[in-house]
């Protein structure tokens, strides 16, 4: 543990050296790395005869693991979507942002996302 905080640092928990000022350059490097495929996707959309933008509010739900990320777009922000995304038999640790849609999952198996503290 760091002497200046009770929260462990990223390098102590994950073995990833991170300090103040690390995130900005990493974000810039990631942006640069995906710039070409993102631009290619934009050009593709620009050239299509039909593009659906949607006139109703929807939410992007994301489940991220070490190896796989799954996204679904749903018209609801309710807990039934979280259960659909994770499956009724999910039994791991669920990292959430404290939104009530996760209240169906036992609190003892939930971790609050550090970005939402």
Render pLDDT for 69-109 as a digit per residue (tens, 0 to 9): 999 999 999 999 999 999 989 999 999 888 899 999 999 99
Q: Which of 7-11, 36-40, 75-79 has the lowest mean pLDDT?
A: 7-11
Average pLDDT over residues 16-29: 82
Q: Which of 50-54, 55-59, 64-68 has the lowest mean pLDDT?
A: 50-54
In this predicted structure, what is the pLDDT of residue 39?
Answer: 95
For the chain, which residues make up each domain, given as ranges?
A: 10-47, 59-116
Task: Indicate the pTM of the whole model.
Answer: 0.55
Give residues with Cβ within 8 angstroms of 109, minimum separation 6: 91, 92, 93, 94
Q: Which helix (H) or strand (E) holds 80?
A: helix 79-86
Contacts from 104-112 at CB under 8 Å and sequence distance 24+?
104/79
């Amino acid at each position: 543990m760091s002497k200046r905080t009770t929260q462990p640092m990223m390098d102590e928990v994950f073995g990833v050296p991170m300090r103040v000022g690390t995130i900005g350059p990493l974000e810039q490097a990631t942006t640069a790395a995906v710039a070409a495929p993102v631009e290619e996707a934009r050009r593709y959309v620009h050239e299509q005869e039909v593009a659906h933008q949607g006139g109703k509010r929807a939410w992007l739900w994301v489940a991220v693991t070490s190896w796989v990320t799954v996204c679904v777009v749903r018209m609801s922000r309710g807990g039934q979507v979280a259960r659909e995304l994770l499956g009724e038999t999910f039994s791991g640790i669920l990292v959430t942002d404290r939104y009530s849609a996760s209240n169906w999952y036992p609190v003892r198996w939930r971790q609050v996302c550090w970005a939402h503290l």
